[in-house]
Amino acid sequence: MFTPLDPPIETLTTGVVVVGAGAAGLATALNLAPCQVVVLAHGPAATGWAQGGIAAATGPDDSPAFHAADTTAAGAGLVDPLVAALVTAAGPDCIDWLQSAGVTFDRGTDGRPARGLEAAHGRARILHAGGDATGRAILAALTARAAAAPHIRRLDNAEATALLTDARGRIAGIIVDLTGRRLMIRTPAVVLATGGIGGLYAQSTNPPGATGRGLALAARIGARLRDLEFVQFHPTAMDLGGDPMPLASEAIRGAGAVLIDGAGRPVMAGTPGGDLAPRDVVARQVAATIDAGDRVFLDARAAIGPGFAERFPTAAAACRTAGIDPASQPIPVAPAAHYHMGGIAVDLAGRTGIPGLWAAGEVAATGLHGANRLASNSLLEALVCGGWVARDILSTSPDARAPVIRQAFRTRRAGTGEGAVAIGRLRAAMSRQAGVLRDAAGLDQLISLAAAIEADPHLPAAIADRALVCRLIAEAARNRPDSIGAHQRADATPLALRERRHVPA
């Protein structure tokens, strides 16, 4: 399985390497000044796909304590209360930092940033930019700031393929593929900010590159992972035949839109919280309706009507492409893999337990989200924790001296030509057997399939990494027999036997 690494074409030495150019990666890199940083950008960042907004307690009737309480309630008993308190307390300052970085939030009639309501929030605290283009606006502003920062060097089309360590197990470098060229970067500090795992599923709202590569990189050098079974399925991905599926933001329901079945009956009637119940609750109800042979639609006609395109331009454009006018027609929706609450286990400073390796954003398991993420907390976590990671790295005084690498390896050979069938099989199996509802028999089948693909010596390393992450997610789900939050077992143990614990991978 392992072969000696071929000599890289190029070598580079730097103080810090940040793997990922989304919100978490750019926040980390910007806050690392004056340390020299190389940012690796592989493909479109999931940050740019975030439509819902960013949650922060900025209203006169709100407080970080209220925000933390909502976060804890949504997480089904597995949120770390200290993490929730500290991240939500940092929310208002985070909004100020974004505005100073050039983000223009949508304004209300009073001239202040408008605050919207989303599922499971007790206060209207969601800030938006460009309607449902918040992620795109934040990413554009931070990307521009990073481009102008003299301490940051960005490498595009750069795929991290292996982390390198020294004889004491400390980070010593990273191997990068640059569209056919190989680069070895010697560095004492690496930050993984690679995003999520939605691309492992056949139905997903994530960009195709969201395949858990950061999890695989960390796992292969012994980093601890946890809570991998907690995959959030967004209940209102637009079922328009796209891959990935366009998102009908939570904010649309926050503005009054309702879920209906094919006969026009309310899907969430009788459920506490109704259409604004926590995402896991809504996703299960939507999935159950579809599994019963019906369809589910998001009906914004009465609540939003002709103003839909102005308030939600991204969703409106996707509907228009499919020939749907949401002002006069309901939008077909279905659950899709959206966000991963699990990841690399980190502390408040983003430290992974491997000296020299940090993680931030969706790839990290900070304890903020527990078993079910509160809507619009992901951008907040990525930005706040990215800043904390940078502060911790600077306190260690990283330098650009070339570390001594113990030995470098790469898995199998490069290439993608043989992987399309394997990827298709994995994605279908993940959606079918590790989706909204799981059971032991299906998870066992998924584990066997993923293990076989992972062990196939003829497949490229990138496919093996996909299979590794699929297997670890399935094993974590198999090892939690109870139903909690986003992890729901059809064969769950009785309610009284639920365990409020974290499952390591």
Whole-model pTM? 0.93
What is the rounded distance in angstroms from the CA atom of residue 267 to the CA atom of residue 317? 25
What is the residue type of 377? N
For residue 437, the model assigns a pLDDT of 96
Classified as helix, coil or strand, 98 is helix
The 8-class DSSP code of residue 150 comes to T
What is the rounded distance in angstroms from the CA atom of residue 145 to the CA atom of residue 162? 28
Q: Compute φ and ψ for 259, nearest 5 degrees.
A: -90, 130
For residue 398, the model assigns a pLDDT of 64
Query: Residues near 156 by Cβ (< 8 Å), separated by ≥ 6?
Result: 41
Classified as helix, coil or strand, 398 is coil
Which domains occur in the chain, in start order?
2-229+341-395 (3.50.50.60), 235-336 (3.90.700.10), 412-493 (1.20.58.100)
Residues with catalytic annotation? 279
Rounded to 5°, the CA angle 233-143-365 comes to 35
Helices 134-148 & 377-395, crossing angle to 10 degrees? Answer: 20
Per-residue pLDDT of the chain (505 residues; tens, 9 = 90+): 334 455 556 899 999 999 999 999 999 999 999 999 999 999 765 555 556 699 999 999 999 999 999 999 999 999 999 999 999 999 999 999 999 999 999 999 888 999 999 888 999 999 999 988 899 999 999 999 999 999 999 999 999 999 999 999 999 999 999 988 999 999 999 999 999 999 999 999 998 899 999 999 999 999 999 999 999 999 999 999 999 999 998 889 999 999 999 999 999 999 999 999 988 899 999 999 999 999 999 999 999 999 999 999 999 999 999 999 999 999 999 999 999 999 999 999 999 999 999 999 999 999 999 999 999 999 999 999 999 999 999 998 765 556 777 755 554 455 444 689 999 999 999 999 999 999 999 999 999 999 999 999 989 999 999 999 999 999 999 999 999 999 999 999 765 445 567 777 7
What is the rounded distance in angstroms from the CA atom of residue 333 to the CA atom of residue 307? 20
For residue 496, the model assigns a pLDDT of 43
Q: Which two three-digit tokens encode residue 110?
A: 């009073």
